[in-house]
Amino acid sequence: MTVIIFRAFIFYFLLMLMMKLMGKRQIGEMQLTELITTVMLSEMAVLPLTDTDIPVTHGLLPLLLISSLEVVIAFAEQKSKGFRRFLNGNPIVLYEKGRFVEKNLEKARVSAEDVEAMVRVNGYATLDEVSCVILEISGKMSVLPKKSNKPNQSGE
Amino acid sequence: MGNFVYALIILALIIIFTAVNSVIICNICDDITALIEENCVEVACGVWEDNRKYISLFVRDTEIDLVDTAIRQINTQNPDGKNFFKEAVNEVRRSESVDWDCIF
């Protein structure tokens, strides 16, 4: 049982590091710790359900542990800007002042075509209408228009 | 703040609960092993039966079944039964002890 608790700690932090390495694109809508918690909780809940050889405590205690860790980490994120930045990173500017920021595109593992597609999804025909594109910490891209432009609404 | 405190308390309780139960189960297994080595096999079987339900809350069924099978073999006068019983109890102890090999 103690081995399982140790493993729960190890896998939690290992998953967090792995998700951080994979970058913002994989995380999508969720914050890093939320994604890890969701994935681990669902896997842990399934094991004692499908394998009756496993005592209930082997599923229950790690579930409680991971949930509590999530609350503690979320609280620490809220209280410490440095810790929040370490976990979630910073928004990355991908396009500004009329050109792509190549260094940031490489860092975020995003291509220029991805950025152009996101600009179109946001209702702009070309990059000329846009002042900058930012990859947020959530993994979504924000497209900010030039002052004179606004996105085409559907039906116009 | 409230949830954070509750989470910390739950974390601490889980760690303490797990540690205490691991120690208790390891001690029970050590007692059984000592009784087997002193040739008090029937007493060892009794200790196992008394604690079987509690141990089964924390140990996998395959390991519990292994010990039960070993006890049945002792009852059928199998000469290797005593050693099998001891090995099976050691398996249960190994599953509860903090062994870095097991963790990794």
Q: What is the pLDDT of residues A96-131, one digit of tens each?
A: 999 999 999 998 889 999 999 999 998 998 889 999
CB contact under 8 A, B8 and A69: no
Is the residue at B12 inside a domain?
no
CB contact under 8 A, A65 and B11: yes
Is the residue at B83 inside a domain?
yes
The rounded mean pLDDT for chain A is 80
Is the residue at B44 inside a domain?
yes
Is the residue at B102 inside a domain?
no
* Cβ contacts of A24 within 8 Å, gap of 6 or more: A89, A92, A108, A135, A136, A137, A138, A139
Q: Choose the closest CB to B102 out of A3, A52, A55.
A: A3
Tally of domains within chain B? 1
Would you place residue A5 in the very low, low, confident or very high pLDDT band (cuts 50, 70, 90)? confident
CB contact under 8 A, A68 and B10: yes
> How far is Cα B102 from Cα B104, in angstroms, rounded to an integer?
6
Give me the long-range contacts of B64-71 (CB less than 8 A, separation at least 24).
B64/B92, B66/B91, B66/B92, B67/B91, B67/B92, B71/B45
Q: Are B67 and B7 in contact (CB under 8 A)?
A: no
Is the residue at B5 inside a domain?
no
Which residues of chain A neighbour B52 with C-beta distances below 8 Å?
Answer: none
Which residues of chain B neighbour A75 with C-beta distances below 8 Å?
Answer: 1, 3-4, 7
Reported as a single tens digit per residue, the pLDDT across B26-74 is 999 999 999 999 988 889 999 999 999 999 999 998 999 999 998 888 7
Residue of B nearest to A4 (CA): B103
Is the residue at B82 inside a domain?
yes
Which residues of chain B neighbour A54 with C-beta distances below 8 Å?
Answer: 60
Range of the domain at B61: 18-93
CB contact under 8 A, B60 and A69: no
> How far is Cα B67 from Cα B73, in angstroms, rounded to an integer?
10
In this predicted structure, the answer to whether residue B103 has a pLDDT above a threshold of 80 is no
Residue of A nearest to B1 (CA): A75
Would you place residue A59 in the very low, low, confident or very high pLDDT band (cuts 50, 70, 90)? confident
ipTM above 0.85, yes or no: no
Is the residue at B76 inside a domain?
yes
Is the residue at B13 inside a domain?
no
